[in-house]
Amino acid sequence: MNAKRTLVETALAHFAQEGYEGASLQKIAEDVGIKKPSIYAHFKGKDDLFLSTLKNALKEEKRRITRYIVSLRDQPLEKRLSELLEFLQEEYTRSSESKFVLRMAFFPPSSLYDEVMELIYPFLDSMERQVVHLMEQAKADGFVQIAAHPEDAAVAYMTLVDGILVEMVYGGLPGAQRRLKASWPIYWAGIQAADPHRGQ
């Protein structure tokens, strides 16, 4: 493993645990087994290392989410969508990448707000597009009756994702599981109900 990759992977653990402000380049260097000035041979500074670490974490999370969605391709739409929410909860508890991405999505460092959100928004948009595709595919195949427009249903789904993941950050897994259990049946019934835009 090359030094730059090792730095990014080590920095991930520090940024995920301590945030941008709390993470120390000195401690990251010590964990890698190098002197702090050696970091500057690979990165311009803390900002550069942080953003590189976030890019890498987002890439890995996108890969995991896509792989999970594909693994459920033979399952009914309801199962695919509800289990994706459960998967995202589990990811936060076991994956440094997921924990880092989620915390930065909700609490980006103020000094890097624009740079962070330029990375976060495309990640969320990509996930929403995958959900739209699932909705359109299921609707076209006639396997499920979705009255809502696929894009509207996907936006509502992402809103549900936001609420559950915020609870993961603030209240932990039990609270998030409680929210999912309460909200999922209402969401699923809602997108199969009469189209709210009909007649407008």
User: In this structure, how many other beta carbons lie within 10 angstroms of the beta carbon of residue 1?
Assistant: 6
Residues 97-122: pLDDT tens digits?
A: 999 999 999 999 999 999 999 999 99
User: Mean of the pLDDT values across residues 13-26?
Assistant: 94
Element (H, E) at 58: helix 46-71
Q: How many helices (H) and strands (E) does the chain have?
A: 8, 0
**59 pLDDT band (50/70/90 cuts)?**
very high
Rounded to 10 deg, the angle between the 77-94 and 150-171 helix axes is 30
Please determine, for residue 196, whether its predicted confidence score (pLDDT) is greater than 80.
no
- Fold topology of 3-191: Tetracycline Repressor; domain 2 (1.10.357)
Please determine, for residue 91, whether its predicted confidence score (pLDDT) is greater than 70.
yes
- Cα–Cα dist 16/96, whole Å: 6
User: Mean of the pLDDT values across residues 75-103?
Assistant: 93
**3 pLDDT band (50/70/90 cuts)?**
confident
- Cα–Cα dist 3/91, whole Å: 27
Say if CB 176 and CB 85 are below 8 A apart.
no
Block residue for tokens 């996907």: 154
Which residues, including other chains, have CB under 8 Å from residue 176's CB and lie 6 or more apart?
89, 164, 165, 167, 168
CA angle 191, 91, 154 (to 5 degrees): 20
- Cα–Cα dist 41/89, whole Å: 37
**195 pLDDT band (50/70/90 cuts)?**
low
- Cα–Cα dist 127/90, whole Å: 17
Q: What is the pLDDT of residue 194?
A: 52
Q: Which long-range contacts (CB under 8 A, 24 or more apart) does 117-124 make?
A: 119/51, 119/54, 119/55, 119/58, 120/58, 123/58, 123/61, 123/62, 124/158
Residues 134-159: pLDDT tens digits?
A: 999 888 887 777 888 999 999 999 99
**193 pLDDT band (50/70/90 cuts)?**
confident
User: Mean of the pLDDT values across residues 66-88?
Assistant: 93
* Dihedral sign of CA atoms 41, 47, 48, 51 in order: positive
Which among 18, 30, 182 is positioned nearest to 99, based on CA atoms? 18
